[in-house]
Structure 1
Amino acid sequence: MTAKPWLKQYDAGVPAAMNYPAVPVTAFLEEAARTYGERDALVYRDQAVIFHTLEQLTERLACGLVRWGLRKGDVVGLLMPNWPQFVISFFAVLRAGGVAAAINPAYKARELEFQLKDSGAVMVIAQMEAYELLQSVRDKTQVRTIALTGGEDGVRLGEWLRGRAQPPAELPALQTGDVWLGAWAAEGVPVSLPAVGPEDAAIFQYSGGTTGVPKAAIGLHRNLAANTLQFRAWLSGLKDGQETALLAIPLYHVYGMVVGMCVSLRLGARMVLQPDPRDLNEILRLIQTYQPAFYPGVPAMYAALNQHPDVISGKVGLRSIRACISGSAPLLREVQERFEALSGAKLMEGYGLSEAPTATHCNPMFGEKRPGSIGLPLPDVDCRLVSLEDSTREVGAGEIGELTLRGPQVMAGYHGMAEETALVLRDGWLFTGDIARMDGDGYFYLVDRKKDLIKVGGLQVWPREVEEVLAEHPAVSEAAAAGVPHPMRGEVVKAWVVLRAGAAASAEELREWCEQRLASFKTPVEIAFRERLPRTLVGKLLRRELVREHLEAADQKV
């Protein structure tokens, strides 16, 4: 796309292009320690750690990792919620020349085994509760060392520096070679850390990609550093060294890792960590106590605050919040408008993916935020839409096509998957698998996922279109649509619906509603009612889980 109409929509002071220093992403922590050394860096359970201490702990743990055999390029799994130990471990692994592979703490044995095997992780730093699970799968992996930590350890981080850190009483019996995390940090014997540069791998971030098969996107140090700087420039209303960020979005997800943790670090912001994003009462307490200005999240988090009785009554105010990034799922207009009215904040819908860790688009902080739009490409991000039938043909404004992009944050490829890498990285462009359109001013709108496309007798149906029509019904809280097998038509549309509290509607009533608003081939053949829809912890709808349940139920009937 030669013309870049989106540049005219940028907020004043946001550059079209930027300079990116040739440094590893860990340089941001070192810079913050030099610049804001005595300022609080982390707050967890009302205990604070200053930037200088955070940098010291990180270096000490990095030395510990090297002493315990970590070599440059080795992969370390990180398995814990939003604790200070996650932040310390992440940067320590990178300082030691390792690659961080963050793991969802909710994973079961099968998922955990796959990720550890596929990544080739040789170490894991994990919450104590996961030790038995890790032990059950480690023989099938390359993991040779497990370090354990607990929630209370994050409150006692100062003891690590003083060499007084004692293992918690509930620490399980450890296999030879495994340790308590505090032991590494407490030893304090300096070692030589390897040189780490911008072209070295920093993270393996697992993604379903365009094929739905889990794969590790390789994020280089320069990819993370570039995206951090892009988003820092985008948040032009925030001031370095003066802000507080509330981080309830999971740090093990690339969105929380980069837009939450790394951007906050670059800001020199105090990071208030909240392990459970669903604990609204604690989140409101943290807002009251620490007055955060930056609160990245997902739509469900903002919708929940909108509906909380203490917010509605005015008992708890949200007026400290000035900037919110919403990602991972569509942001409904009413949620955005209500939250902005309650808080006065700028709630900006954005877009990103693990293959470009993590963000590529966002609505402007002060400029027009168009409903339903993922916003504008960030500085130095170029975008084009290509025909779904011919990927060499670019389509124009207003037309639907596959979103392709290039920029300094685009991954190096998929770990150990050359063929899959070649499918998505072509001639310098990342093929996202997302179907989108661009309006004449350069705002982008997601239509759907290419892999979620439903083909009814050869005709294309986008699930999101069906879902939006159902969500407009006054009795419907949320809806999902997907294609299910049909002997004659190949696929037909099935919908799953969650009704609003106290509301009632029949499947036939909802079908008639759709028939009045959609072509007949797009109307759901079957509508099922559920109490909730399956989503990831960051709010992404899991349509494939619904299809799987449908297929299992169909098999049982045969």
Structure 2
Amino acid sequence: MNLTELLEATARRWPQKLAIVEDGVVLSYGGLAQQVCELAQQIGSLNTGASSRIGLAFPNGIAYVALTFALWRLNVVVVPVPSDCPEEEIAEIGVAMQLSGMLTPKPRGASVAVAPDCYFTKLNPSKPPDNHGLNLAFIRFTSGTTSARKGVALSHETIRDRILSANKAFRITADDTVIWCLPMAHHFLITVVLYIEVGATIVLARHVTAKPFLEAVNRWKGTVLYAAPFHFSMWARDYSAVQIPSVRLAISTTCALPQDVANDFFKRFNLVLAQGLGVIELGLVALNTPAPGGRWNSVGRGAGDFQVRVVNPDAEGCGELAVRGPGIFDAYVAPWVSREEVLCDGWFYTGDIGRIDEDGFLFLLSRKTAVINLAGRKVFPEEIEAVINRYPAVGESRVYGQLHPHLGETVEAEVVLSSPDAKLDTIHAFCREHLASYKIPTRFTIVAALPRTPVTGKIRRAAPVA
């Protein structure tokens, strides 16, 4: 099975139907399928090799979608790389993932033009990657269950299974027009691939501020909004008289939905926000449908064919959440750990603490892992600490997530200086050289010592109490 079969089937059924809109450029499903074929031919001429892994460092756009499907057509494994990654991080991902090449919108070193504004840079992994006989389609970095940075490997079959399950909850059809604004490097499989499988239209919103975004919704008669809480908060604060009557489903994802955002959005547009819980290892785990019965802070019931349970609940019913269902990831990469080695009797332990009420609604209470969720992007503290600790005047550091009402969390850091003459602005400048912009701490605090656990001496991950 290959996911390009989904696009080809849709293109055969509706060749003239609108597939993607970007900055006034309109592409039909027939046109998208043709573009994928042409790109696959160009990339294939570079002898990339089936089952090789290629990094895709592109911003949102038609090119991102077409290149992903073109690589899949060649049986290449796609490794998404955020487009704002610095060269140092791109090189690190290339080595860890054993990439054979990288596709970028601008030339990098000895790159070759594949298409307008598309360049291929050949890389030389130390040895060919071992996909362990799996029909892999996609590898993306995540925290896993331990907060250690690793790749999550997904096969074509796994992705197909999870989008079929997800759409039992979303109910997206060919009649829908989705207004898209999340980063494709972080959100693609159970959204964009699903939309293409059912023949929906995807409108890529270049501007997410209220006025141009709402105008785009009405211009294209958008029916589905899929965005982060801070997007919905921004749109709810629009004081014009513009309404969006064509929207039937508005889904908040990436982090917990604050009740005031849900209330404000409902008051402004008379639309109830549906909160979803997606996990890269699992897909769409839960969805709070547009009739949550006042449970604004719930992520809903198990979505599609997923089951969720609380393991070893305490007296109040709180415990670690375990999930099972279709489309569970195939393996962790670097190091390779198979799905069978991770699951416990078919259940995936998420590392999150939660409870389930008498009606089956799931509530997330806290995180066992240290991963920071910044407006839909996963940020790993250890990665940032490794950079900060390289600065000559820093003895050690601690990075943590500080709760934010609309972004979910922001990145902050505490540092212990080894030189009293060090300046925080120079540490901040050092981070700008070596980290993607969204990973740079918004606040640095100098401390005499880092908080540690009394028994093991490990660094405490919780944000300091104000």
TM-score greater than 0.5 by the shorter chain? yes
Instruction: State the one-letter code of the partner of 1:120.
Output: Q
The question of whether the paired residues in 1 share the 8 Å contact of 2:22 and 2:203 is answered with: yes
1:263 pairs with 194, 201, 224, which one?
194
1:110 pairs with 67, 85, 88, which one?
88
The question of whether the paired residues in 2 share the 8 Å contact of 1:352 and 1:361 is answered with: yes
Distance change (3 Å), C-alpha of 1:146 and 1:434:
farther
The residue aligned with 2:389 is: none
The residue aligned with 1:290 is: 220
2:328 pairs with 406, 410, 435, which one?
410
Instruction: State the one-letter code of the partner of 2:71.
Output: V
**By how many angstroms is 1:495 displaced?**
9.7
1:444 pairs with 357, 362, 366, which one?
362
TM-align CA RMSD: 3.4
1:226-241 aligned within 5 A? 226-236=161-171, 238=172, 240-241=173-174
Gaps of 5+ in 2: 124-132, 374-399, 407-437, 451-466
The residue aligned with 1:338 is: 264
* Deviation per residue, 1:291-317 (Å, 9 max, x gap): 210110110010010112xxx221x22
The question of whether the paired residues in 1 share the 8 Å contact of 2:112 and 2:121 is answered with: no
State yes or no: 1:42 paired with 2:24. no
2:245 pairs with 299, 306, 319, which one?
319
Distance change (3 Å), C-alpha of 1:224 and 1:146:
farther
The residue aligned with 2:420 is: none
State yes or no: 1:243 paired with 2:180. no
1:209 pairs with 136, 139, 144, which one?
144
* Deviation per residue, 1:349-391 (Å, 9 max, x gap): 11121112x311111245646221111112221222223xxxx
Distance change (3 Å), C-alpha of 1:375 and 1:146:
farther
**By how many angstroms is 1:45 displaced?**
0.8
Instruction: State the one-letter code of the partner of 1:400.
Output: C
Q: Residue 60 of structure 1 aligns to a residue in which SS? A: helix
* Deviation per residue, 1:183-218 (Å, 9 max, x gap): xxxxxxxxxxxxxxx951111011012322221101
* Deviation per residue, 1:468-517 (Å, 9 max, x gap): xxxxxxxxxxxxxxxxxxxxxxxxxx9968799xxxxxxxxxxxxxxxxx
Distance change (3 Å), C-alpha of 1:272 and 1:419:
closer
Between the aligned partners of 2:294 and 2:134, the Cα distance in structure 1 is 35
The residue aligned with 1:18 is: none
Between the aligned partners of 1:31 and 1:365, the Cα distance in structure 2 is 31
The question of whether the paired residues in 1 share the 8 Å contact of 2:7 and 2:196 is answered with: yes
Distance change (3 Å), C-alpha of 1:362 and 1:176:
closer
The residue aligned with 2:299 is: 374
Between the aligned partners of 2:348 and 2:112, the Cα distance in structure 1 is 36
The residue aligned with 1:185 is: none
Between the aligned partners of 2:244 and 2:12, the Cα distance in structure 1 is 32
The residue aligned with 1:160 is: none
**By how many angstroms is 1:441 displaced?**
1.4
**By how many angstroms is 1:145 displaced?**
5.8
Between the aligned partners of 1:43 and 1:146, the Cα distance in structure 2 is 28
Instruction: State the one-letter code of the partner of 1:268.
Output: G
**By how many angstroms is 1:545 displaced?**
5.0
Q: Percent identity between the aligned chains?
A: 22
1:303 pairs with 225, 228, 233, which one?
233
> Which structure has the larger Rg over C-alpha atoms?
1
Distance change (3 Å), C-alpha of 1:409 and 1:286:
same
Distance change (3 Å), C-alpha of 1:214 and 1:175:
closer
Distance change (3 Å), C-alpha of 1:369 and 1:408:
farther
Q: Residue 296 of structure 1 aligns to a residue in which SS? A: strand
The structure with the largest strand share of the pair is 2
Distance change (3 Å), C-alpha of 1:245 and 1:98:
same
1:152-551 aligned within 5 A? 167=116, 200-236=135-171, 238=172, 240-253=173-186, 256-275=187-206, 278-308=208-238, 312-314=239-241, 316-356=242-282, 358-366=283-291, 368=293, 370-387=295-312, 395=313, 398-418=316-336, 424-452=342-370, 549-550=444-445
**By how many angstroms is 1:260 displaced?**
2.9
Q: Residue 99 of structure 2 aligns to a residue in which SS? A: coil
The question of whether the paired residues in 2 share the 8 Å contact of 1:127 and 1:148 is answered with: no
Between the aligned partners of 2:349 and 2:28, the Cα distance in structure 1 is 41
The question of whether the paired residues in 1 share the 8 Å contact of 2:168 and 2:303 is answered with: no
Distance change (3 Å), C-alpha of 1:419 and 1:53:
closer
The question of whether the paired residues in 1 share the 8 Å contact of 2:257 and 2:297 is answered with: yes
The question of whether the paired residues in 1 share the 8 Å contact of 2:143 and 2:149 is answered with: yes
The question of whether the paired residues in 1 share the 8 Å contact of 2:50 and 2:75 is answered with: yes
Instruction: State the one-letter code of the partner of 1:362.
Output: L
Between the aligned partners of 1:275 and 1:431, the Cα distance in structure 2 is 37
Distance change (3 Å), C-alpha of 1:66 and 1:339:
same
Distance change (3 Å), C-alpha of 1:115 and 1:272:
same
Between the aligned partners of 1:446 and 1:417, the Cα distance in structure 2 is 29
Between the aligned partners of 2:272 and 2:169, the Cα distance in structure 1 is 12
The question of whether the paired residues in 2 share the 8 Å contact of 1:249 and 1:260 is answered with: no
Distance change (3 Å), C-alpha of 1:404 and 1:146:
farther
The structure with the largest helix share of the pair is 1
What is the TM-score with the length of structure 1 in the denominator? 0.62
Q: Residue 295 of structure 1 aligns to a residue in which SS? A: strand
Instruction: State the one-letter code of the partner of 1:291.
Output: K
Instruction: State the one-letter code of the partner of 1:427.
Output: D
* Deviation per residue, 1:118-142 (Å, 9 max, x gap): 11111222122xx45xx4xxxxxxx
